[in-house]
Amino acid sequence: TDYDQFSVDAAARAAQHNLAATGCDALGRVRAARFDWKEASAPGYAPSFGPVELLIAADCNYYTKASPWLVAAVLAHLADGGTLLLASRDGRAGLDSCLALLRSHPSLVEVSHHTFSDQDHMWTFERR
């Protein structure tokens, strides 16, 4: 998901291209949709999709005040037993807050942290 429809459309095109190029059936299940994380924090929010077994949150930490909305969106859409992959660069505004909220949630367990460069990281959480 993304807030910007142009980005959503680009992600959908990339998934379709990769499906055609690789023949990987799993890419046929990729869904791109516009979504405002604040919606997930609203009382009575009912997701229009999900729950999903794998949720990828990449390059999504920009504002500390948005961290609770991002975590609410994760919790609203991630299935029990599902996996969250959070990818980010060091120093992003909101990253520390987001990680603290994810780590403190009783249904989420951090299972790994991978460093790809001196700035690029990925954290894996499972919902139990």
Tens-place pLDDT, residues 70-104: 999 999 999 999 999 999 998 899 999 999 999 99
Average pLDDT over residues 96-118: 97
How far apart are the C-alpha atoms of 90 and 71, rounded to whole Å? Answer: 18
pTM value is 0.86
The pLDDT score that the predictor gives to residue 14 is: 93
Beta strands at 78-89 and 52-58: parallel, antiparallel or unpaired? parallel
Ranking 54-58, 74-78, 104-108 by mean pLDDT, the lowest is: 54-58
Q: What residues contact 119, with CB distance under 8 A and at least 6 apart?
A: 89, 90, 91
Assess contact for 54 and 85: CB atoms under 8 A.
yes
pLDDT at 71: 97
pLDDT at 31: 82
SS (H, E, C) the chain: CECCHHHHHHHHHHHHHHHHHHCCHHHHHCCCCECCHHHHHCCCCCCCCCCEEEEEEECCCCCHHHHHHHHHHHHHHEEEEEEEEEEEECCCCCHHHHHHHHHHCCCEEEEEEEECCCCEEEEEEEEC
Question: Is the confidence at residue 1, as pLDDT, over 80?
Answer: no
